[in-house]
Amino acid sequence: MNLSSDQQALVITSVDPALSDQFTLKHLPTESKVAPGLYFHPKRFDLVQVSPDGRFAAFSTMDHHTLVGLLDLGTMAAQEIDVVTEGEVLSFHWANDGQVLVYDYLPASGSQRIRGYDVQSGERLGIPHTEHSSDVNLVFEQWGSQPREVVVSMRNRHKGESRTTTITLISITQLAPGP
């Protein structure tokens, strides 16, 4: 799996050339299901990473609103898993079993954040707001020893203080309002 040179397509390569395929920007939804009423006009694909089990590819687009998606490499069906408004996805991190995806992103606020997605349950995941304040950058470091557990670097943008902690991602519907 690679990006085309113009970043207009995800190129799926195979040992058998007959199985090679392309997934283009035209295959993407135009309206968000995560944020109804929000429309996508992606200029290009930005990041792509295949899951360790080879079943899925996580991808992001580049535009005013960034679509974060998951492409099923068996069916070539894509689904929107998140929207980053006025920001960008910085990196993807797959759990070893390919069941959970975590991504670092930078929203317009300027404080780096982490979100995730559980492939099996379809749940969107996040970090409880009680674990950080709005002026703290959150950076994925590695996977923890338990399912949905991540080791995160937390750095206060104004004070420069840093610490590393282990956090269990929770369903976005369980997130309390932020400060």
What pLDDT, on the 0 to 100 scale, is given for residue 174?
52
Edge-to-edge strands of the sheet including 88-94?
Answer: 88-94, 100-106, 113-118, 124-126, 170-171
Predicted structure pTM score: 0.85
**Which phi and psi angles does 26 have, rounded to 5°?**
-65, -20
What residues of the chain score a pLDDT lower than 50?
Answer: 175-179
Taking the C-alpha atoms of residue 47 and residue 34, their distance in angstroms, rounded to an integer, is: 20
What pLDDT, on the 0 to 100 scale, is given for residue 63?
84
What DSSP letter does each residue of 24-83 carry, written as one string? EGGGS-SB-SSSTT-B---SEEEEEEE-TTSSEEEEEEESSEEEEEEEETTTTEEEEEEE
* 123 residue type, one letter: E
Q: Using alpha carbons, list the distances in angstroms from residue 131 to 71, 126, 149, 158, 159.
A: 31, 11, 13, 17, 17
Q: Using alpha carbons, list the distances in angstroms from residue 123 to 101, 118, 169, 174.
A: 11, 5, 11, 11
| Secondary structure letter of residue 150 according to DSSP | E
What pLDDT, on the 0 to 100 scale, is given for residue 176?
43
Domains with residue ranges and CATH for the chain:
2-174 (2.130.10.10)
pLDDT tens digit string along 25-71? Answer: 888 888 888 888 888 888 889 999 999 999 999 999 988 889 999 99
